Amino acid sequence: MVKIFIFITLETLIFTGFMLKCTILGITVCATLYISSAFAQVPVEEKESQNFIAQLLSSDEIEIALKLHNEARRECGVELLEWSEELSQYAREWANELAKRGCRFFHRPNNPYGENLFTGTEGYYTIADAVKAWLSEKSLFERDPSTHNSFRGVGHYTQIVWRNTKYVGGAKVFCNGQMIVVFNYDPPGNYIGQKPY
């Protein structure tokens, strides 16, 4: 099996993670696709799932996630983030809710915090991969807010480097063959018309 890493941003902001199997010129290629979201709020039908339990991150996962976040912030000249157990518990609650709803993938409504989500095939992706995927949006970012009217396509990156954000926390859940990662940020970022740094 060939593992292919593909990052997609959709204009409609409806996101999911899935396995794609296709045949090209008689060669079968299986590609793991993931899509992460900083904005999506998609209504979904409530469907009870198996009893999947979200987990707080291990100390090693926290260390690498915080390191990657703070390397990006250091490059932008903004204050480094601190890990928050409170935000991690909040993220865990939402990860449990997503699992309860059939492993759906959408943002928490009326969230007082910033939020980054990631989903990918269980066993192929790590917390570091999730953070690196969010940070990969840097190449699409234009710092001048007058050039755009939203953070579409770069909102994960801008939330990570948002100058006023002080704390980050995260959790994960494994369900139906996928890993869902939820990170929250306080104070939130991505205010239209403002520069992140």
| Residue ranges with strand state E in the chain | 5-7, 18-24, 27-34, 55-56, 82-83, 114-121, 167-175, 178-186
Q: What is the pLDDT of residue 95?
A: 97
Q: What is the pLDDT of residue 193?
A: 83
Q: What is the pLDDT of residue 19?
A: 38
Give which of 186, 175, 196, 188 is closest to 17, Cα–Cα.
175
Asked if 72 and 135 touch (Cβ cutoff 8 Å), the reply is yes
> Residues 39, 185, 59, CA angle at the centre, nearest 5°?
120
Q: What is the pLDDT of residue 41?
A: 39
Tokens of 4: 């292919």
Say how far apart CA 25 and CA 2 lie, in whole Å: 15
Q: What is the pLDDT of residue 149?
A: 57
Q: What is the pLDDT of residue 55?
A: 96
Query: In order of start, what are the domains of the chain with their CATH numbers?
Result: 51-186 (3.40.33.10)
CA 196 to chain centre: 18
- Is the pTM of the predicted complex or chain greater than 0.85? no
Say how far apart CA 110 and CA 99 lie, in whole Å: 19
Q: What is the pLDDT along the chain (197 residues), one digit of tens a residue?
A: 444 333 333 322 333 343 343 333 333 333 334 444 443 333 434 444 456 899 999 999 999 999 999 999 999 999 999 999 999 999 999 999 999 998 888 999 999 999 999 999 999 999 999 999 999 999 888 765 545 556 767 889 999 999 999 999 999 999 999 999 999 999 999 988 888 99
